[in-house]
Amino acid sequence: MMEELLEKALRLLERYPLCDACLGRQFAMLGYGLTNAERGRAIKTALLLSSHLRARSKDGRALEIIRLLAKNGLFEPARSLLIKMGEEPPEAGECYLCQGVMERLDELATRALEAVSDYEFSSFLVGIRLPAWAEEREDQLRAEFGVEHGEGLRNELSREIGKRVMKALGKPVEHRKPDIAIIIEPFSGQVELQVSPVFVAGRYRKLVRG
């Protein structure tokens, strides 16, 4: 089964550049206590180690995989290994699914915190508004490769940003009737608030990136 997982991950990377989180998200239901970024990095590390071992035996395909990990895997350890092997590493691409958004979680959480700074409230929820193309890309990828154990970008962003906001505020996430809903458009950086007037004293604000 592990070989099947690694083979599917390799086929995904042969087709699309994927960051750690976006690769790991395609296997989100496997394992417990891991972020998707940790899953993706673990998969890339396993591919790198096995390929390095084979490359030491002059396996040409193994070197191709290491180069693939450096380029489409956006995997710095693969780039470092190529340099150590005397090879020129390829230029890394941009993640096909998130286009770098998963590297901006702290920034997006900070924007959310700034948006609610004028309000008094007891609970909140982070919602994500994605452009249609982002959801279509992931749906297409999952259908193309028969992804059965993944989750959507929307869910991951809501959870990961929500965790950061919850830690900073010391307030709980409430999925049913939050005092305030923080709606984030991660690709544009916009943050919009949906406020429950029963609980919140403040004013409506919309933050535009920049």
CA distance 148 to 146: 6
> 67 and 12 share a domain?
yes
Quote the pLDDT of residue 202.
Answer: 46
Q: Which domain holds residue 65?
A: 2-84
Residues in Cβ contact with 10 at an 8 Å cutoff, skipping those fewer than 6 apart: 47, 65, 68
| Residue 46 domain-assigned (yes or no) | yes
SS3 127: strand
> 128 and 194 share a domain?
yes
DSSP states of 4-58: HHHHHHHHHHHHS---HHHHHGGGTTSSSS--HHHHHHHHHHHHHHHHHHHHTTT
- Provide the β-strand partners of residue 120: 201
> 14 and 74 share a domain?
yes
Quote the pLDDT of residue 59.
Answer: 81
Structure token pair of residue 52: 């390095």
> 71 and 110 share a domain?
no
**Number of domains comprising the chain:** 2
pLDDT digit string (tens) for 109-152?
999 999 999 888 889 999 999 999 999 999 999 999 999 999 99
Q: In the chain, which stretches have pLDDT less than 50? A: 200-210
Quote the pLDDT of residue 120.
Answer: 84
pLDDT digit string (tens) for 175-192?
988 999 999 999 999 999
| Residue 134 domain-assigned (yes or no) | yes
